[in-house]
Amino acid sequence: MKATYVLLCVGLVVLPATICQSPAERDSYTECTDGYEWDVQTQLCRDINECETIQQACQGEMKCFNHYGGYLCLPRSASVITAPEPSSQSEPSVPVESNEAFNPCPVGYRAQGESCVDIDECELDLHDCQPSQECINTVGTYTCQCPDGYNKIGIECMDIDECRYRYCQHRCVNVPGSFSCECEPGFQLAGNNRSCVDVNECEMGAPCQQRCYNSYGTFLCRCDQGYDLGPDGFSCNDIDECSYSSFLCQFQCVNEPGRFSCVCPEGYELVGTRLCQDVNECETGTHQCGEGQACVNVHGGHQCVNSNRCQDPYVQVSENRCICPAVKPECRDLPFSIVHRYMSITSERSVPSDIFQIQATSVYPGAYNSFRIRSGDDNDDFYIRQINNISAMLVLAKAVTGPKEYVIDLEMVSVSPLVNYQTSSVLRLSVYVGPHAF
C-alpha cells in the first residue's frame, strides 16, 4: 500500500527507485519498490503516476501532485519545489519524464517552453463553480461569481427582486437576473428606462374628431361651437339649434352643420342675424310700376296705383288730394275733398288694434268735428274711436287674414253753428292685409 503525503509546501529529495543489486543480479531481477513499475523496453523501473491511475486520488479542494514513488494531495494554491539530487549519489537513478513527475510551474500555470503561462480553468472546465455561477479566470487561479442581478445564498446564486427597491416610477416587472419598468397608459419610459413621461396623444393621432387637448396622462376631445361631444367621447354631433327655441329667428330658422341661420320670406331682408325687415321696392327701384302709376310699398311687396285717382266731378289738386269745386252742382252733396292714403297690416294681428289716426288739418272757430266710417267696411271689421274734436283713431276690431285689400272712406264732418255752416272731407284709406305676422 502506497503512502499519501499531505503537505502545504514541501521539498522533495529524489531517491533511487530500485533496490541496490550487483551487476550479475541486475540482469535477471525485475522487482521494483512501491510506486514504481518495471519498464521492459528500458529495462528500468519507471515511476507510476498515481494522479492518472487512481480515480479521485484527492478529495474536496485538494489537488493531486505526482512525485517519485508516490503522490501528494495539496491545496490548489500549494507549490511543489523539487530539490536537486545529491551529488555524492553514485547509484543509478531511474530516469523520469518531468511532465509526468511534476509541474515545474506554480499552481494555475503550465509550462510552455521555458515560460509558465496561466491555465484558463474556466475554458478547460477545471473549475468547480455551481451551474448558477459564472467562472471568472484570474491570474493563476479562478473565481466563481454570480451573474449581474443575482446574489449568492449559500453556494447557489439566487435572483435579486429589484422591484422591492422601487426603482420604477410606475410599474416594475421582475425577470431572472434583471427587471424592466412599465408605465401606465398615457405615459412612456424616459431615457433612463425608469421614469415615466407624459405622452402627447394629440400629436400622436388621438381619435378626436375636432379638437384635442392633452392633459397629464390622458387627453380630452372637445367640439367646435355648434356641436356636442358624442357618447364615445371622440366624435362630434351637430346641435339642431332650431329645435331648442322658436324665438331664435323672427321668421324661419334653418339648421346648418355647426350653426344655424335665419331666413326671411319674399319681400323681406335679414337685418342683423335674426330680424326681418320689409324691402321697400318703391325706394330701391325694384318695382314694376309703369308710367302713370305710383308705387305703394306694402308688407312683403308693393302695389302699383294710378297716379291720378280723382274721379269726376273731383279734380286733382296735388299728388294725393282731390277736391270737388263748389261751382259744380253735383258737388253740393259730396265731401269737399278726398285725400288718398295707403297702409298695410299683417294677417292675424291681435285685436282690438289701433291702426290709423285721423287728424284735422284745418279747424274753423267754433266748429264741431265728428268722425265716421263712410264706406268700405261692410263686415264691420273696423270702428272709429274719436279722441278729441280734431282727431280720431281707426281701430281693427276683428282678426283679418290676407292677402286682402280694404278701401275705407273715413269722413270728418265739420259743423259751425255760428255761421250755419257744414262741410265734410274724406280720407280714402287703402289697407293691404299681408301674410301672417312672424
User: Measured at the alpha carbon of residue 348, what is the angle toward residues 344 and 354, in degrees to the nearest 5?
Assistant: 55
Q: CA torsion, points 400, 402, 407, 409, in degrees to nearest 10?
A: 20
CB 212 within 8 A of CB 202: yes
Higher pLDDT, 312 or 90: 312
Query: What average pLDDT does this structure show over 27-46?
Result: 76
Q: What's the pLDDT at 6?
A: 35
Higher pLDDT, 77 or 206: 206
Rounded Cα distance, 438 and 433, in Å: 14
Check pLDDT > 90 for residue 270.
yes
The secondary structure of 379-399, three-state, reads CCCEEEEECCCCEEEEEECCC
Using CA atoms, how far residue 89 sits from 13, 84, 133, 200, in Å, is 12, 11, 52, 94
Check pLDDT > 90 for residue 225.
yes
**How would residue 78 be classed by pLDDT, with cut points 50, 70 and 90?**
low
Q: What's the pLDDT at 60?
A: 74
Q: What's the pLDDT at 18?
A: 39
Give the three cell numbers for residue 260. 344655424
Whether the full predicted model's pTM is greater than 0.75, yes or no, is no
Nearest to 305, CA basis, from 269, 347, 357, 343: 343
Indicate the CATH number of 162-198 among 2.40.160.40, 2.10.25.10, 3.40.1410.10, 3.30.1490.100: 2.10.25.10
CB 209 within 8 A of CB 235: yes
Check pLDDT > 80 for residue 280.
yes
Strands 62-67 and 70-75: antiparallel
Peptide bond into 313 cis (omega under 30): yes
| 34-43, 85-94, 356-365: least confidently modelled range | 85-94
Q: CA torsion, points 129, 132, 137, 138, in degrees to nearest 10?
A: -80
Rounded Cα distance, 181 and 200, in Å: 20
Contacts of 258 (CB under 8 A, 6+ apart): 224, 225, 226, 227, 238, 239
Q: What's the pLDDT at 348?
A: 81
Strands 4-5 and 70-75: parallel
The C-alpha cell 267696411 sits at: 377
Q: What's the pLDDT at 27?
A: 47
Q: Where on the phi/psi map is residue 378: left (φ > 0), alpha (ψ -120 to 50), or beta?
A: alpha
Give the three cell numbers for residue 112. 510552455
Q: What is the DSSP letter of 114?
A: T
Give the three cell numbers for residue 318. 296735388
Phi, psi of 211 (to 5 degrees): -115, 140
Nearest to 67, CA basis, from 92, 104, 41, 112: 104
Question: How many beta carbons lie within 10 A of that of residue 74, not counting itself?
Answer: 21
Phi, psi of 434 (to 5 degrees): -90, -165
**Topology agreement, domain 162-198 and domain 309-433:** no
Give the three cell numbers for residue 423. 262741410
Check pLDDT > 50 for residue 1.
no
Query: What average pLDDT does this structure show over 392-401?
Result: 94
Q: What's the pLDDT at 90?
A: 38
**How would residue 101 be classed by pLDDT, with cut points 50, 70 and 90?**
very low
Contacts of 328 (CB under 8 A, 6+ apart): 313
Question: How many beta carbons lie within 10 A of that of residue 66, not counting itself?
Answer: 24
Q: What's the pLDDT at 11?
A: 38
Rounded Cα distance, 427 and 313, in Å: 17
The C-alpha cell 547509484 sits at: 91
Query: What average pLDDT does this structure show over 32-41?
Result: 82
**How would residue 102 be classed by pLDDT, with cut points 50, 70 and 90?**
low
Q: CA torsion, points 102, 107, 110, 116, in degrees to nearest 10?
A: -110
Q: What's the pLDDT at 56?
A: 79
Which regions of 208-264 does DSSP assign to beta strands (E)?
211-215, 218-222, 227-229, 236-238, 252-256, 259-263
The C-alpha cell 320689409 sits at: 278
Higher pLDDT, 7 or 217: 217
Q: What's the pLDDT at 304?
A: 92
Rounded Cα distance, 296 and 288, in Å: 11
CB 236 within 8 A of CB 226: no
Give the domain ranges of the chain.
37-74, 162-198, 201-238, 241-278, 309-433
Rounded Cα distance, 169 and 171, in Å: 7
Question: Does the 309-433 domain belong in CATH 2.60.40.60?
Answer: yes
CB 266 within 8 A of CB 251: no
Query: What average pLDDT does this structure show over 275-282?
Result: 92
Check pLDDT > 70 for residue 13.
no
Rounded Cα distance, 331 and 337, in Å: 10
Query: Quick one: 201-238 is in which CATH superfamily?
Result: Laminin (2.10.25.10)
Above pLDDT 90, what percent of the chain? 50
Q: What is the DSSP letter of 242?
A: G
247 burial level (CB within 10 Å; 0-12, 13-18, 19+)? exposed
